[in-house]
Amino acid sequence: MAEPLLSLKDLRTGYGPTQILQGISLDIREGERLALIGRNGVGKSTLLGSIMGLTTRHGGTVAWRGQGIDGLAPHKRAALGLGLVPQTRDIFRSLTVEENLIAGLRGDATLEEAYALFPRLKERRKNGGGQLSGGEQQMLSVARTLMGRPRLLMLDEPLEGLAPVICDGLMAVFERLAAEGQVTVILVEQHAEMALGFADRGVILEAGRIVHEGPASEVRQDASVLERYLGVGIS
């Protein structure tokens, strides 16, 4: 079997002395679509941040293509091919759309690729980040991360607070990127039905631990598990 793209072994992390993740072990294969779901506050965002090197490590390891990266700073992990779209979006509000995208350019990436995925950004390319709607800011955050040519795209609540038509458009982009084999995707999302409909595999977190995982289609159909750990069912 091929070596995992990303491998977490007994990962225990948090913020300062506070430990949130309680021993996460998870392998992610090249080209996989993983949905990471659970109630608010269970450690989903912390897990993505820990993969990116943004948290305090209390134990365990993170390996990328078989090589340990625990000592690498976030920008060096990004250079290896890890990309995070944070829940906070983190665009440069004082820069134009185009300047934001240029700031993320790496390798042979081009602005036209971003504009092909998100035509609205081309229309707004001279506008400041602070002038964009929430949906446009999310498009910009995703597009800027993609300008870094990530092999692993981590999406932290990308649909939060957005209109349904914007959510559908973003999910169509994620589907296209995954289907074309451009990226491996970890999707953290409160919309469990949408996340599991997109993913190959579903992982449920509770209190900083993985409490359930399996093929996304099976997780989606297991009403008792969804009720227990998310407090909702999926019709």
Q: What is the DSSP string of 93-122?
A: TTSBHHHHHHHH--TT--HHHHHHH-HHHH
Q: pLDDT, tens digit, for every residue of 191-212? A: 899 999 999 999 999 999 999 9
Give the mean pLDDT of 118-145. 96
Q: pLDDT, tens digit, for every residue of 1-51? A: 689 999 999 999 999 999 999 999 999 999 999 999 999 999 999 999 999
99 inside domain: no
In the block, residue with structure tokens 């990127």: 177
58 inside domain: yes
State the chain's mean pLDDT as an integer: 95
Tokens of residue 155, six digits: 């999406």
90 inside domain: no
User: Would you say residue 235 has pLDDT above 50?
Assistant: no
CATH number at residue 168: 3.40.50.300
Q: What is the DSSP string of 19-55?
A: E----EEEEE-TT-EEEEE-STTSSHHHHHHHHHT-S
User: Within 13 Å of residue 59, how many CA atoms lie on the same side as its CB?
Assistant: 10
Residue 199: domain span: 6-81+150-230
196 inside domain: yes
**According to the model, what pLDDT value does residue 190 have?**
87
